[in-house]
């Protein structure tokens, strides 16, 4: 966590903020948080399972979450994490900070496309086809989710981000189709 002398709470990493956000849905174990992330925010934030387990002790140490051990019976005891009032304030502060898009510009696919004239045309076409295929798969997945949550009031903000995913996937498909047509017209000399 990065600290700031001007603020009463520490600035959170996106992983820490996402875990705190998931804890607003109730007490959870690390395993439960991982499952909840995959079912909910995975399209906008997908940490490695180890990241979730790594931030939980830091959140407890900072006073943003508490933990208690729940007997597991035949299994090992389970640690349940709960959001504290301090954690809720830190999350709210993080959520309300302006977004820094500086890292959003890093995109290896676009970097390769930028230098497309330096590779074999088939390799370049392959990059675009794979990108389009992933966008089509995402679009199909997003549409299935949309059908599942349509009309549910409790999912408005999730639906808001889903609409972004739908729009981005559709735009990416249109753009890659357009580029692939242009590349075909240009022929093998890209």
Given this model, what pLDDT does residue 22 score? 87
pLDDT of res. 190: 44
Across 6-15, 54-63, 109-118, 173-182, least confident range? 6-15
Predicted confidence at residue 149, as pLDDT, reads: 77
- The pLDDT of residue 4 is 40
pLDDT at 8: 42
20/33 Cα distance (integer angstroms): 10
| Higher-confidence position of 100 and 45 | 45
Q: How far is it, in rounded angstroms, from Cα 20 to Cα 104? A: 23
Sign of CA dihedral 121, 125, 128, 131: negative
Residues 138 and 5: their CA atoms lie apart, in Å, by 42
CATH of 14-96 given 3.40.50.300, 1.10.10.10, 3.40.630.10, 3.40.50.1970: 1.10.10.10
Report the run of H or E that residue 67 belongs to, with start and end.
Answer: strand 65-70
Give the per-residue pLDDT at 105.
53
CB 15 within 8 A of CB 51: yes
Q: Kindly report, residue by residue over 127-164, the tens digit of the pLDDT.
A: 999 999 999 999 998 898 888 777 676 778 888 888 89
Provide the residue ranges of all domains of the chain, joining segments of one domain with +: 14-96, 106-189
Q: Looking at per-residue confidence, does 105 or 179 come out higher?
A: 179
pLDDT band (50, 70, 90) for residue 42: low
* pLDDT, the chain, mean: 83
The better pLDDT of the pair 187, 82 is held by 82
Three-state SS for 77? coil
Q: So what's the pLDDT on residue 189?
A: 58
- pLDDT bin (cut points 50, 70, 90) of residue 6 is very low
Residue 40 has pLDDT above 50, yes or no: yes
User: Span 79-83, mean pLDDT?
Assistant: 95
More confident residue, 183 or 109: 183
pLDDT, position 3: 42
| 28 close to 80: Cβ distance less than 8 angstroms | yes
Measured distance CA(22)–CA(181) in Å, rounded: 43
Average pLDDT on 79-94 reads 93
């Amino acid at each position: 966590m990065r600290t700031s002398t001007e603020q009463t709470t520490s600035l959170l990493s996106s992983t820490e903020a996402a875990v705190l956000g998931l804890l607003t849905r109730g007490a959870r174990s690390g395993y439960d948080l991982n499952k909840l992330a995959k079912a909910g925010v995975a399209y906008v934030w997908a940490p490695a399972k180890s990241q979730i387990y790594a931030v939980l002790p830091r959140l407890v140490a900072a006073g943003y979450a508490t933990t208690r051990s729940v007997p597991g019976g035949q299994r090992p005891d389970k640690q349940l994490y709960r959001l504290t009032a301090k954690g809720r304030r830190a999350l709210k502060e993080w959520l309300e900070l302006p977004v820094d898009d500086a890292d959003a510009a890093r995109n290896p696919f676009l970097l390769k496309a930028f230098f497309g004239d330096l590779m074999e045309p088939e390799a370049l076409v392959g990059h675009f086809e794979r990108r389009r295929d992933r966008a089509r798969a995402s679009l199909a997945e997003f549409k299935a989710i949309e059908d599942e949550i349509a009309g549910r009031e409790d999912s408005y903000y999730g639906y808001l981000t889903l609409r972004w995913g739908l729009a981005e996937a559709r735009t990416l498909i249109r753009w890659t189709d357009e580029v692939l047509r242009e590349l075909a017209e240009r022929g093998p000399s890209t």
